[in-house]
Every structure is written in C-alpha cells, then in structure tokens.
C-alpha cells in the first residue's frame, strides 16, 4: 500500500510532498516508509517498524488522514499511478 500527497500554495511559494508506503523488511516485520519535503528536491526519510501488516496499514491511514486535514491532497493525474485495474 502506498500514497503520495501534495500541498501547493503559490502565494506563499509552497510546494511540498508527502510519500508513504507499507512494505515488508528482511526480518519478517513491516515498515512504514515516509518521505517528505519540497517538490523537486530530495526529502527527509523516516521508517517505522511494526510487528504485522495491519498495524503498519492502520498507521499509514491515520497519518494520511492527518495530512489531508493539514491541506495535503492527491492530484487526479497522480491517481493513475495507483490504478490496478488495467
């Protein structure tokens, strides 16, 4: 599971991104990978480890909801990246 959010406010010259993904690691645990920063530049990275996939996905969903409340959103053309139907 993964998500990519952006926050743009041209008047304040703000263009930020927040990327999250849940993936297994080599030790049988699950990792919530997070990266954030200015669009077009490398961002900061944080990885949180969880005992099972459900905990990691729940953390991603909670964090995504928090970011959406702070003004982050997904552009419609970005949704095509996650289309699994075709």
What domains are defined for the chain? 2-74 (2.20.140.10)
At 42, the pLDDT band (50, 70, 90 cuts) reads: confident
Give the integer Cα–Cα distance in Å for 21 and 42: 16
At 1, the pLDDT band (50, 70, 90 cuts) reads: confident
- Strand bridging mode 44-50 / 30-38: antiparallel
Residue 24 makes CB contacts below 8 A (sequence gap 6+) with 30, 31, 53
Give the integer Cα–Cα distance in Å for 10 and 6: 13
pTM: 0.79
Residue 70: phi and psi, rounded to 5, are: -90, 5
| pLDDT at 43 exceeding the cut of 90 | no
Mean pLDDT within 70-85: 66
Of residues 50 and 78, the one with the higher pLDDT is 50
Give the integer Cα–Cα distance in Å for 53 and 61: 12
């Amino acid at each position: 599971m993964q998500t990519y959010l952006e926050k743009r406010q041209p008047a304040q010259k703000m263009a930020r991104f927040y990327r999250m993904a849940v993936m297994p690691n080599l030790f049988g645990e699950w990792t919530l990978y997070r990266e954030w920063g200015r669009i077009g530049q490398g961002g900061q990275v944080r990885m949180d480890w969880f005992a099972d996939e459900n905990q990691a996905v729940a953390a991603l969903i909670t964090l995504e909801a928090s970011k959406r409340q702070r003004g982050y959103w997904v552009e419609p053309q970005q949704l095509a990246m996650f289309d699994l139907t075709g």
